[in-house]
Amino acid sequence: MVTIEKFIELFEEQFDETPSVELKPETRFRELPEWSSLVALSVLSMIDDELNANITAPEMRTAQTIEELYNKIH
Amino acid sequence: MAGFNIDNISIRGIVSCTPKTIEENINYPIFQEGEAEKVIASTGIERRRVADNTTTAGDLCYHAAHHLIKQLNWEKESIDCIIFVSQTPDYKLPATSCIIQGKLGLPVHCFAMDISYGCPGWVYGLSVIASMISAGNLKRGLLLVGDTPTKFKNRNDKTSWPLFGDAGSATAIEFDNTAKPMYFNLQTDGSSHQAIIITDGGARNPITMESLQEKQIEPGIARRAIDSNMDGLAVFQFGIKRGPSITQQLLEETNNTVDDVDVFVFHQANQYMNEKIRKKLHIDSNKVPYSLKDYGNTSCVTIPLTMTVACENYDLMNKNNTIVATAFGVGLSWGSVLIHQAPLKYLAHIDYEG
């Protein structure tokens, strides 16, 4: 599994427009103005393709911060 | 379940039929500034056909079937069975297949049956009608696959309305003991049935006054309990997992590789998801046709529609083609079929003349 720093880097790449604030483990990503359902799909598929790992849709929905999301990946 | 063969079946022709009314996603009023462009870029869906209030999936299929029978020069008396696959039948009862049998003037000895199915409906329906004809007692059949998802999607749900379009189709099936076997693999996960569901209006939750009330879920997302509700995230994840795995399994079970197949016709969900599936399978883009741009996701009709509007490169009316069709969706269910297709006698797309 990648480090959280690397995960944040990959997470940021999924946005069309670079997020207006610096992303940190405690960032509440759903509150970012650039967050959208399409970015969510992109993050899901990044976890699947690039990390070759799993997260279920309900697990993803309960994560509020990037760190919570990272910890739910298995 | 492992896959299965069905022998002695040839597809003779396919006609698809769509309503004339076009809705452009760029003009969809619920989108915020710039949102339409983004959605179009990721889904690949620019416009969709929408049936008016008086047109049903049954009408679109009837029109397609009428045209197809005429072009194939099939005597009506020679048609032994008709199957109608849809999630939007004309009535709760009787079956729409019976109505179409009557309208087409097919003989009373014709077997007619409806199958309730969404996105994988053409693949599932083909397995049923092919099984019936394979034994040789019934010689000819019509597989009618049609849906009008715009009748159960909410116009005020921006996560759903811009994706779906209406269409009907007819596929002519004939007993042919020289045909190579079709090979199917069909699967189901009913434990995830709530991922795509219309909760109210069936026997489980009959319609009440509350079913008809539109609820604002989030800005730009409103729906009623009689509208279709899709867990987009879960369905996306399901599609990118099951679409590639069932296709890969089918290829392995038939001792084929991607190179042995001329064309892969996938259920048209959206371009973003479909391209993920294509890339996971390492299929060259020139083997994967799309009808999304002008028609969107037409539920169970995406495969026959794509074959009629986006397969000119494969010359289906003049060449032998090895075709793999894979679909996934409501149920949840998914399936794949490999067909060694001889040249079709007829293949066309028509507009509905109501």
Tell if the CB–CB gap between B236 and A45 is shorter than 8 Å. Answer: yes
Full pLDDT tens readout for chain B, 354 residues? 579 999 999 999 999 999 999 999 999 999 998 899 999 999 999 999 999 999 999 999 999 999 999 999 999 999 999 999 999 999 999 999 999 999 999 999 999 999 999 999 999 999 999 999 999 999 999 999 999 999 999 999 998 999 999 999 999 999 999 999 999 999 999 999 999 999 999 999 999 999 999 999 988 999 999 999 999 889 998 998 899 999 999 999 999 999 999 999 999 999 999 999 999 999 999 999 999 999 999 999 999 999 999 999 999 999 999 999 999 999 999 999 999 999 999 999 999 987
pTM for this predicted structure: 0.92
Q: Look at residue A51 in the predicted model and tell me its pLDDT.
A: 87
Q: Band of the pLDDT at A34, cuts 50, 70, 90?
A: confident
CB neighbours of A21 closer than 8 A, spacing ≥ 6? A27, A32
Compare CB distances from A40 to B39, B233, B240 and report the shortest one's residue. B233
Q: Band of the pLDDT at A74, cuts 50, 70, 90?
A: confident
Judging contacts by C-beta atoms under 8 Å, the chain B residues touching residue A60 are: 233
| Calpha distance B71→B315 (Å, rounded) | 18
* Average pLDDT over every residue of A45-60: 85
SS3 string of B201-230? CCCCCCCCCHHHCCEEEECCEEECCCCCEE
Q: Look at residue B1 in the predicted model and tell me its pLDDT.
A: 56
| Calpha distance B60→B65 (Å, rounded) | 9
Instruction: Delineate the domains of chain B, giving CATH numbers in brackets.
Output: 4-179 (3.40.47.10), 183-344 (3.40.47.10)
Q: A58 in contact with B at a CB cutoff of 8 Å?
A: yes
Residue of B nearest to A16 (CA): B38
CA dihedral B232, B50, B169, B343 (to 10 degrees): -90
Structure tokens at B74: 């099939």
Tell if the CB–CB gap between B233 and A16 is shorter than 8 Å. Answer: no
Q: Across the beta sheet with B168-175, what order do the strands follow?
A: B111-116, B81-86, B140-145, B168-175, B9-18, B346-351
Task: For B159-215, give the DSSP string.
Answer: TTGGGB--BEEEEEEEE-TTSPPEEEEEEE-GGGGGGEE--SSSSSS---TGGG--E
Query: Looking at the domain covering A4-72, what would its CATH class be?
Result: mainly alpha
Nearest to B43 by CA among A52, A56, A31, A37: A37
Interface test with A, best of B192, B233, B241, B332 (most A CBs within 10 A): B233
Compare CB distances from B237 to A16, A36, A57 and report the shortest one's residue. A57
Is the ipTM beyond the 0.90 threshold? no
